[in-house]
Amino acid sequence: MIDLRSDTVTKPSAGMLAAMTSAPVGDDVYGEDPTVTELENEIAALLGHEAGLFTVTGSLANILGVRALAAPGTEVLCEASAHIARAELGAHAAINGITTRTWSAPGGQIDLDQIRALIAPDLGPYFVTTSAVSVENTHNFGGGTIQTSYDALADELDTIGLPLHLDGARLWNASVASGTPLSAYASRAAAASVCLSKGLGAPVGSVLVGSAELIKEARVWRKRLGAGWRQAGVLAAAGLYAVRNNFERLAEDHAHARQIAELLADAAPGSVKPDQVETNIVVADIATTGKSVAEVIETAKTQGVLIGGVGATQLRLVTHLDASASDCRKAAETIARLLQ
């Protein structure tokens, strides 16, 4: 079975498993796990921040990061299909008491004019105050797109004193594809998260980075939410191995995604624009084919290919280190036949 539902489906390699089984560990709730500390420090340095916090998921890292920037009863602005608005089950409102207002743009891009119009300073007791702006880079539901106006937005927010939150779950992909250093992106944000269990191939985990003060507060809230963990170094070791060995190879996944997009574009013209597939996610709109998303997904499964859907007419295929070039080509040819 070729599984292209997500880049979260990878299995630890032999080298990663060896790193996990040999990792020195301690009780991380007491701050005594040396491998966790090493991971947090290494990621913070890579991203240009003072400190880091290892969390079980990217959603938790985002919950903690947004919570550190926005008080209950205030709002965070984000794009309408951003992960924090669409795929975290309302956690920012349910747990933190923070609402969202959104702009909408093709590919989930930053739209400076819309953001300027949305920002609400303290307008007294009748309107919600904007506390932060959140940006996802790359943008998952936008098709793995890289944000093009990121620095311009960061400059404007710096001018007005509004913090930026970066959901960098796939920031690794953005960096490899654009040639922009990780720190050039992440250092512009007051709080940023990166995922270890997507393109990098670790079995679990994300890291939130920020100032030492912000991370100190986030650590308290992690424990308050029941997410402190003990000998977590076995998982942190997988994250360290992933960062040190699987970062630069992401370019291979990007090439495989472009190949998939080209085959699908030939089979269903207009469904996807290959030149707009920048990283490892392909979103194909099959509205004009007469096929339903559910039908294509189920039939593909019977033919040995697992894919996902992200809308009424949109298929999503995500390349990763466990899917070779031949796997990706075979999967794309299978889907292409179903769309013709």
Q: Which residues contact 115 (CB under 8 A, 6 or more apart)?
A: 77, 103, 133, 153, 156
- Please tell me which residue, 340 or 117, carries the higher pLDDT value: 117
pLDDT at 122 > cutoff 90: no
Say whether pLDDT at 124 is over 90: no
Question: In this structure, what is the dihedral angle of CA atoms 276, 282, 285, 291, given to the nearest 10 degrees?
Answer: 150
CATH number listed for the domain at residues 14-245: 3.40.640.10
Give the predicted TM-score (pTM) of the model. Answer: 0.97
Average pLDDT value for residue range 1-8: 98
Averaged pLDDT for residues 83-104: 97
- The per-residue pLDDT for range 226-261, each reduced to its tens digit, is 999 999 999 999 999 999 999 999 999 999 999 999
Q: Which residue has the tokens 């959140």?
A: 134
User: Is the per-residue pLDDT at 53 higher than 90?
Assistant: yes
Residue 105, pLDDT score: 97
**Residue corresponding to tokens 């424990």:** 223
Cα gap 28→6, rounded to integer Å: 30
What CATH class does 249-339 carry?
A: alpha beta
Q: Which residues pair with 195 in a beta bridge?
A: 206
Q: Decide whether 14-245 matches 249-339 in CATH topology.
A: no
Would you place residue 123 in the very low, low, confident or very high pLDDT band (cuts 50, 70, 90)?
Answer: confident
168 burial via Cβ count (<10 Å: 0-12, 13-18, 19+): buried
Write out the H or E segment, with its range, that includes residue 337: helix 325-339
Distance between alpha carbon 212 and the CA centroid of its chain, in Å?
23
Which tens digits make up the pLDDT trace of 61-76? 999 999 999 999 999 9
Q: Are 12 and 235 a contacting pair, CB within 8 Å?
A: no
- Rounded to 5, what percent of the chain is helix, strand, coil? 45, 15, 40
User: What mean pLDDT comes out for the span 28-49?
Assistant: 98
Compute the average pLDDT of residues 175-201: 98
pLDDT tens-digit series, residues 154-182: 999 999 999 999 999 999 999 999 999 99
Predicted confidence at residue 267, as pLDDT, reads 95
For 115, phi and psi rounded to 5 degrees?
-65, -45
What pLDDT sits at residue 310? 92
Q: How far apart are CA 176 and CA 265, in angstroms?
A: 25
The confidence score (pLDDT) of residue 134 equals: 98
Are 303 and 2 in contact, with CB atoms under 8 Å apart? no
Contact 300, 334 (CB under 8 A): yes
% the chain with pLDDT above 90: 97
Integer Cα distance of 248 and 176 in angstroms: 7
Chain mean pLDDT for the chain: 97
Chain segment 300-330, per-residue pLDDT in tens? 999 999 999 998 999 999 999 999 999 999 9
Give domain limits for the chain: 14-245, 249-339
